[in-house]
Amino acid sequence: MSSPQDLDPSDLAYLGGIDSPTVANALERLKLRDRSDGYVGGSVQCAFPELGPMVGTALTVTADNAVGRPARQDGYWELWNALEQTTGPTVIVMKDASGTPTRVAYAGEIMVTLARRLGAIGMVTDGALRDVDEVRAKGFHYFMRYPVVSHANFELSKVGDPVHIDGQVVRTGDILHGDANGIVIVPNESLRDIREAVDAIQTAERRDLDYLEGPEFTLQGYQRMRGYGS
């Protein structure tokens, strides 16, 4: 497995003040990847949008529902050992490999409390989680498909290995930025230029909004401003 990377405190503070679609737009401007790459798909939903942006580095794990035998505990403890080695903030990304994601919750209050103690600030899964009231009260981020009431016979493995989450490859160490709109991955190589790109996006959006809401607005004028058909 690759080692989770640390986020620079100033990058962290900066990113925490920006919403995820603006981050996505800024990254698009930097042309570091295909426009259809770099974010988690919408089936993974923000459970606690009132918490605002989640910013942290991914620690990946694969989650399954063991059949016909006791679940192995090795991966569970391997996850916590790996988490302890991060300096955080860390987001635990749990890939559902059960094939029946409606039937198993991969974490709840106890695991969240342990995760927080070890530096995690959120969990992301294309499966399910539980104890939504208790976890919301802790200010811990949940991104999931839906809650499920039972943890069934869940089993964790492949700590640190890359996973697919609704169309997106997520690697341990990836910087994740998520809010009510979803989760975008912030490439390390973008950190040098992202402030400038965000500034450019915000300036352009402010200009657009001022014009769109202002007294001079015409559709043709806006079309010209956007450089279409010129």
100 contributes a contact to a copy of itself by CB under 8 A = yes
Total chain residues near a copy of itself (CB under 8 A): 72
Residue 39 DSSP class: B
From 110, 109, 111, select the one nearest 63 (Cα to Cα): 111
5 contributes a contact to a copy of itself by CB under 8 A = no
**Cα separation of 208 and 16, whole Å?**
24
The radius of gyration of the chain from alpha carbons, rounded to an integer in Å, stands at: 20
For the bound state, the minimum distance from the C-beta of residue 153 to a copy of itself, rounded and expressed in Å, comes to: 4
75 contributes a contact to a copy of itself by CB under 8 A = no
Residue 4 DSSP class: P
65 contributes a contact to a copy of itself by CB under 8 A = yes
223 contributes a contact to a copy of itself by CB under 8 A = yes
53 contributes a contact to a copy of itself by CB under 8 A = no
**Binds a copy of itself (CB under 8 A): choice among 8, 13, 17, 41:** 41
**Binds a copy of itself (CB under 8 A): choice among 12, 132, 200, 225:** 132
Which residues face 168 on adjacent strands?
A: 165
Contacts 24+ apart (CB under 8 A), 22-26: 22/198, 22/201, 22/202, 22/205, 23/177, 23/184, 23/186, 23/194, 23/198, 24/184, 25/201, 26/190, 26/194, 26/197, 26/198, 26/200, 26/201
Phi, psi dihedral angles at 176 (to 5 degrees):
-105, 140
Q: Are 134 and 109 in contact (CB under 8 A)?
A: yes
For the bound state, the minimum distance from the C-beta of residue 83 to a copy of itself, rounded and expressed in Å, comes to: 9
- Nearest CB to a copy of itself, comparing residues 92 and 118: 118
Of residues 185-204, which lie at the interface with a copy of itself (CB under 8 A)?
none
- Site stretch for a copy of itself (CB under 8 A), options 8-16, 54-62, 176-184, 186-194: 176-184
118 contributes a contact to a copy of itself by CB under 8 A = yes
- Nearest CB to a copy of itself, comparing residues 10 and 81: 81
